[in-house]
Chains A and B, each alone.
Chain A
Amino acid sequence: MKLQLSDEDAAFREEMHTFFTTQIPQDVRDTVAARRELSKEQIVASVQAMNAAGIAVPNWPVEWGGKDWTPLQRHIWHEEMQLANVPPPLPFNASMVGPVIAAFGSQEIKERFLPKTANLDIWWSQGFSEPDAGSDLASLRTTAVRDPSTGSGGAGEYVVNGQKTWTTLGQYGDWIFTLVRTDPSVKKQAGISFLLIDMSSPGVTVRPIELIDGGHEVNEVWFENVRVPAENLVGEENKGWDYAKFLLGNERVGVAPVGSTKRTLSQAKEYAKTAGPGGTSLLDDPLVAAQIADLENEILALELTALRVVANSADGKPHPASSVLKLRGTELQQAVTELFVDLAGPLALASGAGEGSDVPDLARVATPNYLNFRKASIYGGSNEVQRQIIAGTILGLRG
């Protein structure tokens, strides 16, 4: 047992800290610190700065731009990034489709997509959920029917029909990776394929969904007789569910936001110092102080659990306790966004205030952020699904 990082890991941490605090465009970091939405250009600029340094996709195989870092180093990379107000690389590219293509795609498909995916030259959207297929994802109904007679190269085309929904940032999407039903005659999990679709193809329609914070973050994506070259299939036909499970396992680890929650709490604490009546410190309010101290302790426990999990995860396979990280990580993320609203108090109402307002920016964004982050316990496998995994896989309680 040992507390200190090894000299090597301590140096690595320092290196990451320096990189993220000096090499990422300042306006990106300022926007994150202000808890404002990033533009597409800012997200791309941030990823490309990381990719130029070779650290955008450390979780990929080395030959495709990954790093042979230890799980602890990967954790440090992720933490230092968040502490420096740097947005993590677009998850759809970096932790979802990239690893799937690298693990299951043909050499041709890897060469075609991986470099551009790492550099965010292609913006990927995730087309899994459907109106009637949420937690029960395998019940998805979007169909892909193979037409061997058409397409170039004689491989044929798939004709795709159906609807995806909740497609995050689909308005920016160049390509969408989808789960489609290729065999309706078998058990639902056995008839699903993993298909890559160019979103500029004829028959693809993207419609915005407005969320409770007033923002446009998710979309519906419709497919009407969309013709997709068969070479865009990843891996084998009807094996898509296996690839999806692999992807969702990675997603669960990716969404435990320790560093950003820690940073937001520290920001909230700083804000509290002058948020009392007449500019006094709310930290002198025993209830506020107790709540913040307690949250700090809970976040510490989460971070330490993340460290234990990375130390024990067998290569590639997510540790079973990673469900704890998703579940607790999003609960704490939400608790801190809620705290910020309480600290803002009546100023939390001024969400629409613009120039000339006397209300501090952090108070204005507090409630939209709070509302927005209710999503965190729904996506990435809802927290009920995580409890199901803990109860079933870890505790052996199968209903």
Chain B
Amino acid sequence: MDFQLDSEQEALRDAVRALLTKAYDTSETRRAVTKQDPGWDDKTWRQLAEMGVLGLPFAEEDGGMGAGPAEVAIVAEEIGRVIAPEPFVEAVVLAGGLVAAAGTAEQRAEILGAVAEGGLVPAFAHTEPASRYELTATGVTASGSGDSWTLDGVKEPVLGGARADLLIVSAAVDGGTGLFLVKPDADGLTRTGYATFDGGRAARVAFDDTPATPLGEAGADQSDVIAATVAQAQIAYGHESLGAMETALRTTTEYLKTRKQFGVPLMTFQALTFRAADMYVSLELARSTVSWATLVLLDASTGSTSADEVAEAASRAKLQVSKAGRHIGQEAIQLHGGIGMTAEYSVGHYMSRLTAIDHALGDGRHHLNRLVSTLGDHSVVDPLP
């Protein structure tokens, strides 16, 4: 097992880091950006596009860079380090990933090329008010045949749903869950956007006899595609969280070194330094599981790991990150005292972002439940397939 990055991957990391730390030099910059709709910065998005980041996971013939999960992981981690609000995981990995996996050749070329260039930002409209973390759609139904379909029902909360240039909508079809493309100006589409606690944006998206184009084969059940793409996004979110946890810990240790009370730096108090040590332990354990999940995903492209194995690895990563994120986020604030509670200071935003990621695509308890369902199938968990 080899966790090391090669030199090209290191170069990618350094380039993305340079771009993002410049764009989000202080938490005030990020705060200013997230105050205005759409909650992220178009200029930064364009720069990421110029760097090739937005087309990273897509095939070259579709207008992408043909890179893999390792490169996606690198970018997601850098996004997390500064909690950049740009929707890399949501728009590129998840929504783009669905198009890459389910779309026809024409759809892929048309949509993914535009995503890679930064001109088209898609969103995956899947969660329904009553769906919790289920991957099937029930509240939005599709009817029609051939190329002529309409959707009815409500999706909410849809991350990035108000600003999206294209919605990829999951909807109940005969025999399962299909995927459909809906244009922003479609008839009978109502989008009501609002801010989320982490500075992001979500929307209520209502469909009333709304015309939609099937993504890929008309009327087909796309459950497998959804499950596989969601697993990729879960792992990418894991990396985004790693970046955020690392910064939250570093910010906290810096504070313990500089903040003085009782005439001495806070790091004089072992009650605090031991808690920082435990945060480090949580971070390293999460890093191990998330990086491993990426290795499992990498092997799926050669067929040496199955879709089920990837999904399980994603659940394992999501569970570990859920626990670590709560631990590190909560302690980061506590060890700062009052300043950690303020919107002006950074650590609270890190906790908010970690909480948002935790509750997108399944929190720790949800994934623990999934792992429980296969508990009896193995005697030990072997990290090698």
Contact = CB atoms under 8 A, between A and B. Distances in A.
B371 A296 contact: yes
Interface in A5-43: 5
B286 A311 contact: no
Contact of B296 (A3, A286, A324, A384): A3
Given A304-B383, A308-B3, A1 B295 contact: yes
Interface stretch (A175-183, A237-245, A391-399): A391-399
A269 B379 contact: yes
A311 to B, nearest CB: 6
A270 interface: yes
A195 B369 CA distance: 55
Contacts of B3: 1, 307-308, 311
Interface in B295-348: 295-296, 298-299, 304-305, 316, 319-320
B319 A297 contact: yes
Contacts of A299: 381
A3 B1 contact: yes
Contacts of A270: 379
A262 B380 contact: yes
B280 interface: yes
Contact of A3 (B249, B286, B295, B371): B295
Given A2-B1, A3-B384, A328-B285, A397 B295 contact: no
B295 A2 contact: yes
Given A298-B285, A300-B289, A324 B1 contact: no
A283 B372 CA distance: 9
Interface residues of B, number: 53
Interface string A355-399: 000000000000000000000000000001011101110111111
Contact of A301 (B267, B289, B379): B289
Of residues B5, B253, B280, B305, which shows the largest number of chain A Cβ atoms within 10 Å of its Cβ? B280
Nearest to B324: A301
Contacts of B284: 305, 321, 324
Interface size classification for chain A: 35 or more
Contact of B274 (A328, A384, A396): A384
A62 B116 CA distance: 55
A396 B257 contact: yes
A294 B372 CA distance: 9
A328 B281 contact: yes
B257 to A, nearest CB: 7
A304 B292 contact: yes
Nearest to A72: B1
Contacts of A308: 3, 287-288, 291
Given A3-B298, A397-B273, A398-B267, A304 B288 contact: yes
Interface centre among A263, A293, A303 (most CB of B within 10 A): A293
Contact of A395 (B280, B298, B376): B280
A298 B380 CA distance: 12
A4 B299 contact: yes
Interface in B357-385: 368-369, 371-372, 375-376, 379-381, 383-385
Interface in A223-270: 262-263, 265-266, 269-270
A190 interface: no
Given A301-B285, A311-B3, A391-B277, A397 B376 contact: no
11 contacts: A1-B291, A2-B1, A290-B369, A297-B316, A297-B319, A303-B383, A304-B289, A328-B285, A387-B274, A392-B273, A396-B253
Interface of A: 1-5, 72, 83, 262-263, 265-266, 269-270, 273, 283, 286, 289-290, 292-294, 296-305, 307-308, 311, 321, 324, 327-328, 384, 386-388, 390-392, 394-399
Given A283-B376, A290-B369, 5 more contacts: A1-B294, A3-B298, A4-B299, A290-B368, A387-B278
